[in-house]
């Protein structure tokens, strides 16, 4: 028996030990429509007005704003009664324009605009997108909008666009803004291989302006740079989260960078660490916990059936910012054989936004077909799982790629101070849960 077989056997023992809590007791092995879990209660479900392809979700004035992966738009839901979410509006930036990521503060909404990648590329499975640069992925024709749009949402059921900052290229992937003067945007620009950092000055909210750019060496094709990344590895900024004087940026297969951002016009690299290889890569989210000098870093699982191995979420000690040190990983779910059920492993983290639940001891993480996991990291060297919720398989697949498994794909989670959780699925809509811890 080799080490991989031994690990699979170990996972099987864990699944056998926990199966009664993870699989419907009706005897048919199916997960019921409300999912199953421990320490998390299911409150309600919404198909989001018939567009269940949900990614990032934000909350403002009793309403949810939900970005879509495939539907070229954003849905507004009245969430005053969490047991009965009600669609009240839909915004689109036009055909072929994906608006899947957004940020909300001060009755304003900042929205990513970019090419609908899946509609405009030729890959028939999940890995194609993750193993090729964005510049090489988009092969289809069609007009789309590329840049950052800004919307007044002081009237909750309406979105009134008040500004648009064009970014010539393939558009914005994700961004970070919690109010204030500067937004930190991951966007593709013409001449680059993939998404890079652009810092946007919002001093005049109706006339946003890019004040700086930053990228890893090898990404600027227009300047003659050549990437040193091996074939099948994608170096791209997913997004950067800031805390105080520092920004923490996740570069997919390019690892983690820490930046001094005291001068937004000249962000300075403090350190760069990449644990891939030996780990699979896919660094997606770097969540700083500044009171504890820690960063929790989720590597996005980006292959089905564990074809690239097990992806992890790392706890990193950043007491000395120019020498970050990984000290532990969050426990990998083992209550059933998730590898055989589609994409298994981390996707994203609850990001401790102002106005949401903010904790430097409890981490809420999404794990694709393993749903939502809640972890206690009071002992940063020995994190432990507190609660979980496993989602049902979506009734239908919105993802048009023919070789993508028909499986749950829990995407984002936003946690309110009262413990209510808004949880999205790329194909399966939005669940409202309640953490009982």
In this prediction, residues 36-63 reach a mean pLDDT of: 97
Would you call 299 exposed, middle or buried from its count of C-beta atoms within 10 A (0-12, 13-18, 19+)?
buried
**Structure confidence at residue 30 (pLDDT):** 67
In this prediction, residues 132-149 reach a mean pLDDT of: 92
Total of domains in the chain = 1
In this prediction, residues 222-248 reach a mean pLDDT of: 97
433 with 418: CB under 8 angstroms? no
Close Cβ partners of 404 (under 8 Å, ≥ 6 residues apart): 125, 126, 304, 397
pTM: 0.93
The 10 Å CB-count burial string (b at 16+, else e) for 164-198 is bbebebbbbbbbbbbeeebbbbbbbbeebbbbbbb
Output phi, psi for 328, to 5 deg.
-170, 175
**pLDDT of residue 323 exceeding 50:** yes
Q: Locate tokens 């007009």: which residue?
A: 143
Tokens read off for 140 = 């289809």
Q: Residue 250 sits in which domain range?
A: 3-435
Q: Quick one: DSSP state of residue 3? A: H
**pLDDT of residue 350 exceeding 80:** yes
Cα diameter, the chain: 64
**Does a cis peptide bond (omega within 30 degrees of 0) precede residue 80?**
no
Which stretch of 136-145, 167-176, 407-416 has the lowest confidence by average pLDDT?
A: 136-145
CATH number of residue 361's parent domain: 2.130.10.10
Give the residue with greater pLDDT, 106 vs 20.
Answer: 106
Proportion of the chain above pLDDT 90, given as a percent: 89
What is the C-alpha end-to-end distance of the chain, expressed in Å? 40
255-305 pLDDT, tens digit per residue, is 999 999 999 999 999 999 999 999 999 999 999 999 999 999 999 999 999
């Amino acid at each position: 028996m080799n080490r991989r077989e031994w690990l699979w056997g170990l996972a099987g023992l864990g699944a056998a030990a926990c199966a009664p809590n993870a699989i419907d007791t009706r005897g048919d092995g199916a997960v019921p429509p409300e999912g199953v879990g421990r320490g998390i209660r299911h409150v309600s479900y919404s198909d989001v007005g018939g567009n269940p392809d949900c990614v990032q979700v934000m909350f403002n004035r009793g309403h949810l704003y939900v970005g879509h992966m495939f539907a070229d738009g954003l849905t507004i839901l009245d969430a005053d009664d969490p047991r009965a979410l009600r669609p009240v509006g839909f915004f689109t930036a036009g055909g072929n324009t994906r608006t899947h990521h957004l940020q909300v503060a001060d009755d304003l909404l900042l929205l990513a605009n970019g090419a609908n990648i899946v509609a405009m590329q030729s890959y028939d499975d999940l890995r194609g997108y993750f193993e090729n640069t964005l510049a090489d992925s988009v092969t289809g024709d069609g007009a789309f909008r590329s840049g950052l749009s800004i919307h007044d949402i002081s009237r909750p059921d309406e979105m009134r666009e008040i500004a648009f900052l064009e970014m010539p290229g393939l558009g914005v992937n994700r961004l970070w803004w919690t109010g204030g003067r500067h937004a930190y945007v991951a966007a593709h620009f013409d001449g680059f291989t993939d998404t890079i950092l652009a810092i946007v000055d919002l001093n005049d909210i109706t006339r946003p302006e890019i004040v700086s750019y930053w990228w890893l060496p090898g990404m600027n094709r227009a300047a003659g740079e050549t990437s040193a990344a091996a074939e099948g590895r994608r170096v791209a900024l997913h997004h950067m989260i800031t805390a105080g004087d520092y920004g923490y940026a996740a570069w997919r297969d390019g690892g983690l960078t820490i930046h001094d951002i005291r001068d937004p016009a000249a962000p300075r690299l403090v350190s760069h660490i990449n644990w891939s290889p030996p780990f699979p890569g896919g660094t997606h989210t770097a969540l700083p916990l500044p009171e504890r000098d820690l960063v929790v870093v989720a590597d996005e699982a980006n292959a089905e059936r564990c074809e690239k191995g097990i992806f992890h979420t790392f706890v990193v000690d950043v007491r000395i910012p120019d020498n970050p040190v990984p000290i532990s990983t969050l426990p990998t779910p083992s209550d059933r054989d998730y590898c055989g059920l589609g994409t298994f492993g981390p996707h994203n983290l609850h990001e401790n936004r102002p106005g949401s639940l903010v904790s430097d001891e409890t981490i809420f993480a999404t794990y694709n077909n393993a749903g939502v996991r809640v972890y206690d990291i009071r002992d940063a060297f020995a994190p432990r799982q507190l609660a979980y919720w496993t989602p049902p398989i979506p009734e239908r697949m919105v993802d048009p790629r023919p070789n993508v498994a028909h499986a749950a794909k829990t995407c984002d989670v936003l946690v309110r101070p009262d413990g209510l959780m808004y949880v999205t699925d790329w194909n399966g809509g939005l669940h409202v849960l309640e953490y009982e811890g």
